[in-house]
Amino acid sequence: LQVVVATHNPHKVEELQRILAPLLPGVELLADDGPEAVEDGDTFEANALIKARAAHERTGLPALADDSGIAVAALGGEPGIHSARYAGTRVDADNVAKLLAELEGRDDRAASFVCAAAWVDADGEVVELREWTGTVADAPRGEGGFGYDPVFLPDDADGRAAAELSPEEKDARSHRRLAFTALAERVAGR
């Protein structure tokens, strides 16, 4: 079975290949080479479905999508669905710098990584959302991962930043892993 992965983010593709291989054995994942869908939904779930729907309609194949970000309680959930362009650019370092500036001097640094995983095929639509809880660090650390990983201190990582975890350690805990595991179970059970 061929499944199109409706993301243009190469870091997500890499993580999804690792996560999905054992969950969907025998499935061949195809990169999405279509235009970027307009993510104008109000929620992670809505935006994941918009991306998966567009890829399914264009290719006729089952499509998977990931909409994700970091939600900070003291910022009312922001950057949330705006995480990719928080600083007005798509540059990870700019987004991280803006987040640290917004939280400058604040004690309440609780945050979650959030992932909505969507599947769309001829039989319908499935979406699952999961969170990975933690706090925002005072400064970036670590070389692994992508995006906000250098400033996210997961509650279950012994004080290390997500960017200081090995790929296997991140996969064992991440919002992406939790959401796609739940999604795969739903799709398999239909």
Write out the binding residues. 7-12, 67-68, 146-149, 170, 175-176
Which residue, 138, 134, 147, is CA-closest to 93?
A: 147
Query: Interface with ligand ITT includes 146 (CB under 6 A)?
Result: yes
Residues 4, 12, 118, 154: which binds ligand ITT (CB under 6 A)? 12
Dist CA 150 CA 143 (whole Å)? 7
**Residue 155 among the catalytic residues:** no
Minimum distance from CB of 13 to ligand ITT (Å)? Answer: 9
Q: Token pair of 153, please? A: 């201190």
Query: Interface with ligand ITT includes 92 (CB under 6 A)?
Result: yes
Count the neighbouring beta carbons within 10 Å of the beta carbon of residue 188. Answer: 9
Tokens 């929620």, residue located:
43
User: Catalytic: which of 32, 66, 67, 92?
Assistant: 67
Q: Which residues of the chain form beta strands (DSSP E)?
A: 2-5, 28-31, 63-72, 110-121, 124-136, 152-154
Query: Interface with ligand ITT includes 135 (CB under 6 A)?
Result: no
Catalytic residue IDs? 67
Task: Give the binding site for ligand ITT (CB under 6 A).
Answer: 7-9, 12, 39, 66-69, 83-84, 92, 95, 113, 145-149, 162, 174, 176
